[in-house]
Amino acid sequence: MAEVGIDGIEIRTGKLKLDLAETFAPAQGDDPEKFTKGLGLYTSSFPDVYEDIVTMAANASHRLLDRKDLSLEDIGRIDVATESAFDKSKPVSTYVAGCLEQVFEDDLHHANKGERKFACVAGTQALDDAYNWIRAGRNQGRKALVIATDTALYERDDPGESTQGAGAVAMLIDENPDLVAFSDAQGYGSADETDFLKPNQQFPSVDGKRSMQVYLARMREAMEDFERNGGDTHPDNFALIPFHTPFPGMVRRAAALGFRHCIRGTEVEEEVADEIGHQPREESFDSHDEFLEAQKEYTETLTETEMYSQWYAQTIEPTLAISRYVGNWYTGSVHIARAAGLQEALEEGRDLTGRQLLVGSYGSGAQAEIHAETIQPGWEDELGQLNIDEQIENRRDISFDEYEQIHDVHNHAESIEMDPLTTPEGEFVFDGWGRMGERK
C-alpha cells in the first residue's frame, strides 16, 4: 500500500507584529527578559482588522492549491481544526470552501467538510482523519485539505497574554507525499482536565501553571503508550522532534523530561552515567517525594551535559525558529514546529531523506498524541517553497496603543471601528458578517 502523509504545506501569519521586549514589556511594567529568556518569545503575530481564522485559512489554502497546480476537483475533503470558531453550526471549512470557490471559479460540492475540536491537538486529529480516509480507499483518488487556523488571544492582563499569536497552516494529505509519510504507530495520553477552557466565551479561562503540569503528564503518558504500541523512542532515531509549542520555554521543559525518559536503560544512559551517574530508580527511595526530588536534580544535571546539549541543538532548537517570532497558534503550533525544523535543516544542508520525525501534539482539556513520520525525497523542494520568513519580516510593527485597539476589534468585531493598518493585496479579507471571505 502506498505511503500516506503530508504532500504540501503553506503557512499564513497574521500581518501585525507585537514586539514583546520593545513594546509589550515596558507597557506592562515587565522585564523584557521574562519573555525573551523565560518564555523564549520575541514577537507575536496579530491579525489586522480584515483578517480572521477564515481569511488566513483561505489565503494559505489558495497558495497551496495554486502552487501544487491543483483544481478543486482534486480535493475530496476539507477539515478545519480551530478553537476560535465563531459559528456553532456551520463548520469553518464551509466558509473556506466558499472563498476557494470564488477564486477558482469552480465548486467544491463533492467535498466532505468538517470541523475538528480538541484544543491544540485538533490539527493532528484532522490529519489522522484524512490519513484514515485515504488508507480506507474512500477518497476515490482525491486528496484531503487539512487546515489548522486560530486567533489565539487571551483576556487583557491574563498571564497568557504574552503568548498570543494568530495564523493558519494548510496541509495537503495524499498518497506518495512529497514531505512526510505517517507511520501507523501512535500513542495517546488523555484525561478529563479543566486547566484551559472556553465554555461559551471568547477568551480562555486558564490556570497557566497547572496547564504546564498537565501538558507534561499527558505527554509522558502518550510516549509510554507509543512505546507499548511498538514505537521505538531511542533518541538517535529522530532527526527532529517537533512538539506543540505554546511558547519555546514549554518545549525546553518537555524536551528534558522526554530525553530522560527515552535514554532510560539504553547505552546513552550508560554513556552519561560516567559523568552524572544513573537515573534514580523509585525502589531506592523511602518515599515518592524523595524520588521525585532526585529525579528533578538528575534532569537538571542531565541538561547540562554535552550529550544533551548536542541532541537539543540538533533535534529541538530548530523546531522553535518560527514560534519564537509568532507566538502560540494553538492548532497550528505543532505544524509550524515541524515546518520550522525542516526549514532550518534545509538551510544547514542536512540530508534528512528517509530520517524520522517524532511529533508530539498536545491539546488542553487534555490530550497528547505521539507519532513518527518519515521524511520523503521531495522535502527539500517542498520546504523551499515556503515564504513564511518573508511574511514574518514584512509584518507591520504595532505600538501598544494600536495593540490595545486591535485587541478590542477582535473582541467585539462588529461594534468597534478601526482602519486597517496594512493593505491587503489579492487576498481574502473579512469585510463584515455576511460578507465573509470576500476577495479584494
- What is the rounded distance in angstroms from the CA atom of residue 303 to the CA atom of residue 306? 8
Residues of span 275-334 touching ligand HMG by CB under 6 A: 328, 330
By CB under 6 A, residue 159 contacts ligand HMG: yes
Quick one: which of 246, 258, 280, 318 contacts ligand HMG (CB under 6 A)? Answer: 246
Q: Taken in order 404, 408, 413, 419, is the CA torsion positive or negative?
A: negative
Q: First vs last Cα of the chain: how many Å apart?
A: 44
Q: How far is the CB of 251 from ligand HMG (least distance, A)?
A: 10
Q: How far is the CB of 285 from ligand HMG (least distance, A)?
A: 25
- Candidate ranges 21-29, 72-80, 207-215, 419-427; the one touching ligand HMG (CB under 6 A): 207-215
Quick one: which of 182, 215, 403, 430 contacts ligand HMG (CB under 6 A)? Answer: 215
- Residue 85 sits at φ, ψ, to 5 deg, of -65, 145
Site string for ligand HMG, 118-157 (x = CB under 6 A): -xx-------------------------------------
- Say whether 347 is catalytic: no
Q: Please enumerate in sequence order all residues whose Cβ is within 8 A of that of 333, keeping only pairs 6 or more positions apart, or say none.
A: 120, 244, 245, 246, 323
DSSP one-letter code for 233: -
Q: How many residues bind ligand HMG (CB under 6 A)?
A: 29
- What is the rounded distance in angstroms from the CA atom of residue 430 to the CA atom of residue 84? 15
Q: Which of 120, 317, 380, 410 is catalytic?
A: 120
By CB under 6 A, residue 31 contacts ligand HMG: yes
**107 and 113 Cβ atoms separated by less than 8 Å:** no
Mark 382-419 as b/e (b = at least 16 C-beta within 10 Å).
bbeebebeebbeebeebeeebbebbbebbeeeeeeeee
Q: How far is the CB of 35 from ligand HMG (least distance, A)?
A: 8
- What is the rounded distance in angstroms from the CA atom of residue 165 to the CA atom of residue 335? 14
Across-strand partners of 181?
Answer: 5, 374
**154 and 203 Cβ atoms separated by less than 8 Å:** yes
Q: Which of 10, 83, 161, 373 is catalytic?
A: 83
Quick one: which of 212, 294, 307, 392 contacts ligand HMG (CB under 6 A)? Answer: 212
- Say whether 109 is catalytic: no
Q: How far is the CB of 34 from ligand HMG (least distance, A)?
A: 3
Task: Output 268 or 316, the one with its CB closest to ligand HMG.
Answer: 316
Q: Which of 244, 335, 407, 410 is catalytic?
A: 244
By CB under 6 A, residue 211 contacts ligand HMG: yes
- Candidate ranges 9-17, 165-173, 357-365, 432-440; the one touching ligand HMG (CB under 6 A): 357-365
Task: Output 54 or 148, the one with its CB closest to ligand HMG.
Answer: 148
Single-letter code of the amino acid located at 15: K
> For ligand HMG, which residue has the nearest CB?
38
- Say whether 262 is catalytic: no
- Helix segments in 265-396, DSSP class H: 267-276, 288-303, 306-315, 323-326, 333-348, 379-384, 388-393
**393 and 30 Cβ atoms separated by less than 8 Å:** no
Quick one: which of 33, 275, 297, 304 contacts ligand HMG (CB under 6 A)? Answer: 33
Write out the DSSP string of 114-169: EEE-BTBTHHHHHHHHHHHHHHTTTTTT-EEEEEEEEEE---TT-GGGGG-EEEEE
Residues that bind ligand HMG (CB under 6 A): 31, 33-34, 37-39, 83, 119-120, 159-160, 162-163, 196, 206, 208-209, 211-212, 215, 244, 246, 249-250, 328, 330, 362-364
* Residues catalogued as catalytic: 83, 120, 244
